[in-house]
Structure formats: C-alpha cells, structure tokens
Chain A
C-alpha cells in the first residue's frame, strides 16, 4: 500500500521539475513525428538487410542523441537523493520510479518517431513485419538505454567531481557527432549496384547494431539461413540481455559513484591559453576589450551547457563539407573532383556561426550579469565586439583552418582565393548574426530555459542567408577578376562593421 503510494508520489516530483518545459516536450514530440516520416522511404522493397539496417540506424541515432541530451539529467540526478532521501522512501521505490520515468520517456519518443511509418509498414509489408518491428524496437530501446547507462557507469568508476562532468559533457558531444558519422557509414557499408544489394559479410558489421536487426528481418521474412546472418541476429537479441544483466549488477556501484558528482577534490592546474593569447594579440587592441575577450574565451571554454548545445554543430560544420565531397567522389574520379567546384561545400561550415552565436546570450548563471553594470564600462559595444571575437577565435577559426588544410590538399592552391573570401564572408556573417541575436541583450545574461526556441525563425533566415552569400560568391567566381573584387568589397564592409 505504502509502496504504491510512494511510487506515485515520486514520479510527480520528476514531473514537477519538468513541468515548465512540458509544453515544449510535446512540441518536440511533434517534430520527432515529422522526422519519422523519413523512415517511410525505407519501407518499400524486400532487401531487408539494407533498408532495415538504415532504418534502425536512423532510429537509434535519433533516440540515442535525444536520450543523451535531454535525459541524462534525470539519469544522473543526484539532487533527488537530497529531496527524497531525507523522506521515508525506500531506495528501491526511487529506482522503480526512475525506471518508470525513463520507460515512459522512451516510449513516448519511440512512438512519436515510428508510429506513422509502422502503420504504413503494416499495410505495405504485412502483419508479421509489424509485429517483428514492435519486438525489435523494444530491443533497440533497451540497448540504447543500457548502452547509455553503461557508458556513464564506466566513466563514473574511473573519475570524479569536476573532471567527470567534463568527461560526460565531452562524451555527450562526441556521441552526438559520431552518430552523425555513423549514420553516413551505414549507408555506405553496402556496395549497391542498381537495387541488387550486394551484401558481403565483413567482420566490422558485427560492431554495428543496426545491421544485427536488419539480419533478423532477413531471416524471418526472407527465410535466409546464412551463418553470418544468424550470428548477427543472435547478437541483436543477446547483447541487450547481457547489457541488462550487467546494468543490474552495476547499479549499486553506479549510485554510489553518482555522489562523486557533488564532490570536488584535488588541486587543479591553471589552464593553458596560448591559442587565445596568440589571436588576441592579433585582433584585440583595446585593453578593456582584452579583458572581455579573455572573459568570453574562458566562459566558452568552461560553460558545459554552451558546449553541449554548440559542439555537436561544430562536428556538423566540420563533417558536412566532406559528406558532399564523398557523395560527389563516388560518381567521379579524383581528378574530376579536383577540377570541379565542390569546394563550395565548405560553405556548410557556416552553420556553426548562427548556432554558436545564438547561444552566446545564455548562461547557467544569468543573474551574475549584474557585474556588467557594476563596473565602469563606458561602451557596451566593446564588450559585444570582444565576445564575438572570442567566439570566432575559439570555435570558428579552428574548424576553418582544419578544413582549409584539407581543402588545400584536395583542391590544391587554386582554392586559396576562395578560402580568403570565405573567411571574410564568415566575419561579415557572424557580425550580422550577432546583431540579430544580441541586439538588446548582454552576452551570458539570459537563462537557457527561457526563449531558446523563440528564435528558430531567425536561425532559418540566417541559414538562407548563407546560401545567398554562397551563390553570390559563386557568381563572382565566373567573372575574371571576380574573387579579387569580392575580397576588396568584403574587406571594406568588414572594416566598417567591426569598427562600430
């Protein structure tokens, strides 16, 4: 009796903490449902190992990234220990409540994402396909959940306190990025000529969970009895079960280690800052600006929420240009590619700029912004300019330089003028983005929770602007001295804008 009462009570506490974002969550479910429509494309035909693998790669990608980004806070919540731990509630009920909460979340997400494709699959592929998919989805969810938890457990065993939060932060970012690449890889792991999929078993297929499930479909629906398929299918069933077993075994130590999150111990060394030192010598002349610049670079370096929101975009900014190159490369030879215009795909690295700048207004401690007003700062523009420079130096320039090196190797020195124009465009573009997002607010002075989704219209408009800029740039290259005129014009515009 008391147990049921408690289980009911505990989830409401969780709900309370989520209530202010409840509406937004429903909205995001809607977006997932929309994204789920992509899956429909893979429902036709009977080359299951191919289609289904891709389908599950997408499903796993979406669910895992959202679990990590939205849900790790619940999984790693230590505060509830203080609220609930002091009340007469059994630790087992708390864990049950946690599991219930996670299950509900995953179910909502999965249903939102796959409901429409599943119904279509039911009509298109028949009832067996539908039922099989239900079972497989269950396994997939289990696998995702346990994999996430196991990763956390492993980290928690070896590290503590602040370091640990950093590592979690980086893993969250890394997973989000690697899922993007992984999704590309799955599509490319088949050599397909027309629609005759030529699946040859390679050892590394064993490491890719979506293929396991593709194999199950192949066995059940096409009656394939190849040994490699059976191995894959068995893996798909057994690994989640082993994972659950491991997870249950490790939960107590997980809980114990979670408390490390609250503690801090040991000395920390001063961070090295040669990179920003170097750039600030180049670009920052004013003393006050220098102070703001240092402050902003350190904030960007340390704010975990900022990193979590922006770093995955860095991964995209870096990878997208190559994805387009590879797509092109599969249909043409390297020489053809080298002579082509595909280096314009580097414009995709600009996605980083609006995403990163939009987040500059937010901070985990928005109220600490009193400091801007309490100190003798005459001109706020100095502060804005310094923060924007810090963003470019810390986040954009590294991506740009790395990409430039690769592009110079691939396309030789003839893209040099292109690269210069791109940097100038980026400087101009970032200035525009900054005006759009931080016209009326000071940097790091708003809470992440407020108004984050408000500005999606602006983001879209700004992304459209990159395309316009790219087209303009392309148009100019068709003229003989086009690029040089463009460089001159951009230099002048930048000089005017940055002087303000």
Chain B
C-alpha cells in the first residue's frame, strides 16, 4: 500500500456514542477519531452495529447517546448543513427504482443544492465511465444489482463530498468495476477526502483501507493499520484476525455438521 498523506485534521469524532433499541443495547460507548484523508475499513460480524453507527452519523437515526462531531460541529445542534459535504451508499441498494438514473441523480443532486445543468453534465460523464450511458433514461427497476450499485455510488459522490460513508459499496459489482471503484476511493483519499467504508469482504478491506476498525458486540475491539493488527494478533490475513478477535473458532465444526445434515437428509426424503 502506498503512503497517503494523512493530515492531522479531525473530520469525524465520536465520543461515548451508544444506542439501544428498547432493552437491547446495539452500541456500547463508541469512541473514534477520524482524520482527513483516511480510508477507514469498518468491519464486524453481522449485527455488530456497523450500519447503525453509520446511520447515526448520517442523521438517519437521531436518537442516540453521546456526541458526534463532524467537520468540527456537533451534529445534534449544528442543523443539516453538514450533510451537504457527506455522501452515502446504503447497504441493500435501496433506491426509487421506478425512476431513471438521470431522474434519480438530478433529484439527489438537486437536494444537495447543485445546478441542474451541472448535474446533467456530471451524471452523463460518470455514467459513461461506468459504461451505463445507454441506460441513462431506462428505469432502474430493470437494472442488475451491480448496475444499481453503480448508480448509487455516483449519487453519493456527484456533489463532491468531503466525507463518504459506504456500506458494502462493491456488492454485485464485477471484478473490473470493483477495480475501478477501489482505485477511485484511493485517489479520492489522496485528494484529501475521508472515506468510511464498511464491508464483509476482508480481502478488499485489507487492500484498500489504511486504517481498520473492528466492531464486535457494539464495541470497538481493534483499531489500527493492517500491519499493526497483524503484529498484535500474530495471524496472517485479516480474515483470520477477524475470526480471532470476534472469538469465532468453530467454523470447521459448523461446516461439517452442515454438510452431514445435507447428506443425511437425502435418505429420508
């Protein structure tokens, strides 16, 4: 991994952030400072609270404990202006799919305060680079998962945000598009943008992030560069570190009982 110029400006800071749904505690006191130009790989098992954290920072969830500062301002009191400098790709490709990409992008861009002419120019260019120019005026409902993901990705950066939240942004993309997106993220970070990236694909996280934050049971259990994590845990790949830190060792047993159920089930059916 090449060395990024990481400045000392804190873009994002979480202090004692906690969240409960009724009696279940989803997040326990998260503390995190994010500096400009970092690509944070935010990982953790299913249900660890990754998406919840992202949604809180975005203002999609407004009820939480603790304080969050984005661009130096507390989001509870600062109003909505900070959202103008943020881009977000949601996890399950949720999009109004009866619209065409152009209609959707001009809606989103317009809400970010962009001029219609600029949106149309930018959107056309970006769609062309993703080889989607033919479907600019086709309903998104007929798109494949990867195509939707590309549209959402464009929608998240069309207004040139300084901070990007990406929830599984590569799901459904083919290998070539994945390379393009990874390279885009890298170059954006070099331009001083900050990227907050959550994913389950460890190989990708390992390659593109210059800082990895591991969340388990609503708490940060590891934080540092991949090299630092390696040193602390004496394990080879991020996947193995992940398993170790989340206390998960039974994958072989689970797999073999799974296989044996599949095979035995056949005889009584």
Contacts and interface: CB of A to CB of B under 8 A. Distances in A.
Interface of A: 161-162, 263-264, 267-271, 287-288, 290-292, 294-295, 298-299, 302-304, 363-365, 367-368, 370-371, 373-378, 444
Interface stretch (B6-14, B131-139, B200-208, B231-239): B131-139
Contact of B59 (A263, A299, A373): A373
Contacts of B82: 376
Provide the main secondary structure of the chain A interface: helix
B221 interface: no
A398 B250 CA distance: 65
B60 A365 contact: no
B138 A364 contact: no
Contact of B137 (A269, A295, A299, A368): A269
Nearest to B142: A264
Interface residues of B, number: 37
Contacts of B90: 370
B96 A365 contact: yes
B99 A298 contact: yes
Given A365-B94, A365-B95, 18 more contacts: A162-B138, A162-B139, A264-B139, A267-B137, A270-B137, A287-B110, A291-B110, A294-B107, A298-B99, A298-B107, A299-B99, A302-B103, A365-B96, A368-B96, A368-B97, A376-B80, A376-B113, A378-B79
Contact of B111 (A270, A363, A377): A377
Contacts, number: 104
Contacts of A378: 79-80
A374 B137 contact: no
A73 to B, nearest CB: 15
Contacts of B86: 374
B106 interface: yes
Interface string B129-168: 0000011111101100000000000000000000000000
Contacts of B59: 373-374
A419 to B, nearest CB: 34
Contact of B95 (A161, A271, A368, A374): A368
Interface in B98-123: 98-100, 102-103, 106-108, 110-113
A493 B84 CA distance: 36
Contact of B98 (A302, A374, A375): A302
B84 to A, nearest CB: 5
B92 A367 contact: yes
B98 A304 contact: yes
Contacts of A374: 58-60, 83, 86, 88
B110 A294 contact: yes
Contacts of A294: 103, 106-107, 110
Q: Which of B82, B96, B138 has the most CB of A within 10 A?
A: B96
A270 B110 contact: no
Contacts of B139: 162, 264, 302
A71 B197 CA distance: 44
